[in-house]
């Protein structure tokens, strides 16, 4: 009869248990998108303040605000937006993004541009709302 050493067997059991917890935590971390409204700032500038809960990090919140901007640009029948700035904050589990974008019917100059139609389609595929 073969005897298994106690420590490796215990480590195997614990490792299996931890990986099960990780999957449960990931399932429990379902993002909650709280929406956001545009604020016209003059000319082609718009401010957006969006909030969400259960974000993994600031990048996920920035993705959300980008989706909201793309949806708004399409609603206005404009095809493009250019990110000017995004400030992300987290307080008590609620994340917010304060962003300013230029929204235009033609391709703007700059490095941080989004094509509203392409971005909105990507957001829909990823399950991120645009409004």
Total domains, the chain = 1
pLDDT over 70 (residue 92): yes
Alpha carbon distance 102, 17 (integer Å): 49
Measured from the Cβ of residue 121, the count of other Cβ atoms closer than 10 Å reads: 13
Query: Does 65 reside within a domain?
Result: yes
Does residue 17 form part of some domain? no
Q: What is the arithmetic mean of pLDDT over 83-109?
A: 93
CATH of the domain at 75: 3.30.70
pLDDT per residue over 1-42, tens digit each?
Answer: 444 444 433 333 333 433 444 445 555 779 999 988 899 999
Residue 15 lies in a domain: no
Q: Is residue 107 part of a domain?
A: yes
For the entire predicted model, the pTM comes to 0.77
Q: Determine the average pLDDT of the residues in 44-59.
A: 96
The verdict on residue 4 lying in a domain is no
Rounded CA separation 102/46 (Å): 6
Residue 18 within any structural domain of the chain: no
Res 13: pLDDT: 34
Domain limits for position 122: 32-126
* Mean pLDDT score, 104-123: 88
């Amino acid at each position: 009869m073969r005897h298994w050493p106690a420590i490796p067997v215990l480590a195997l059991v614990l490792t299996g248990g931890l990986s099960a917890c990780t999957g449960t935590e990931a399932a429990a971390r379902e993002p909650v998108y709280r929406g956001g409204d545009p604020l016209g700032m003059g000319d082609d500038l718009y401010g957006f303040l969006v909030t969400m809960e259960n974000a993994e990090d600031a990048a996920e919140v920035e993705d959300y605000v980008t989706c909201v901007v793309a949806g708004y640009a399409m609603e206005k029948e404009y095809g493009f937006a250019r990110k000017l700035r995004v400030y992300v904050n987290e307080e008590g589990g609620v994340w917010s993004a304060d962003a300013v974008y230029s929204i235009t019917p033609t391709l703007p100059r700059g490095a941080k541009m989004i094509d509203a139609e392409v971005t909105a389609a990507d957001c829909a595929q990823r399950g991120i709302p645009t409004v």
